[in-house]
Amino acid sequence: MTQHGTLSTPASSGTVPEGDPLAAHADRSLLIVDDDKPFSTRLARAMEARGYQVQVAESVAEGVSLVDAHPPAFAVIDMRLADGNGLDVIARLKERRPEARGVILTGYGNIATAVTAVKLGAFDYLAKPADADEIHGTLMAQPGERADPPENPMSADRVRWEHIQRVYELCNRNVSETARRLNMHRRTLQRILAKRAPR
């Protein structure tokens, strides 16, 4: 098992902004389970800057192992992982620490999956790409309360671009295969990939 441990940034680690609801939580441990390493690294740093004590896992097996060793107060778990389904980690977290708040992230969002995630113990469900403000707001929301919308959410064009980039990477940067899976013309996809990311 790869032990990532706490990704610390000394200037911000453990600091909770005044008035932040996280200040009410003595245990600020957060487990991030995602096999998209650039995403999980960025998210870990952003969440540490918000006062969480972060551990990162890249697989179901590693996530379950960390839950068994030290059940966290909070968790952000990708639905689809290389070795299985993130719902297995949520289910184990619910067994080991029933009051923990776990959020499922997925790029394959649908209502049926959301219902399953909540039944297995997820506190909420967010579609990728979700930013740190949105995730933090969801983790801090009261039961039955909707998190505040982010101040500067991604534009629809940016969300679409992020989704295309994710599928492109999953297809090992094969343009033809990506176009087929997205049901998109190859030349249209090439034009999108050649442009800068929209804001």
Residue 62: which of 27, 31, 91, 38 has the closest Cα? 31
Residue 168: which of 146, 190, 147 has the closest Cα? 190
Note the pTM of the prediction, 2 decimals.
Answer: 0.63
- Quick one: 136 and 181 in the same domain? no
Give CA–CA dist 114/194, Å, rounded. 34
Q: What angle do CA 5, 73, 101 make, to 5 degrees?
A: 125
Any domain includes 151: no
CB-based contact 140:101 (threshold 8 Å): no
Per-residue pLDDT of the chain (199 residues; tens, 9 = 90+): 434 443 333 334 455 555 556 666 688 999 999 998 888 999 999 999 999 999 999 999 999 999 999 999 999 999 888 898 888 999 999 999 999 999 988 765 555 666 677 777 777 888 777 888 889 988 888 765 555 555 666 677 777 887 788 788 788 889 999 999 999 999 999 998 888 877 6
Amino acid residing at 69: A
> CATH no. for residue 184?
1.10.10.60
Q: CB burial class (10 A; 0-12, 13-18, 19+) of residue 103? A: buried
Any domain includes 147: no
- Quick one: 47 and 92 in the same domain? yes
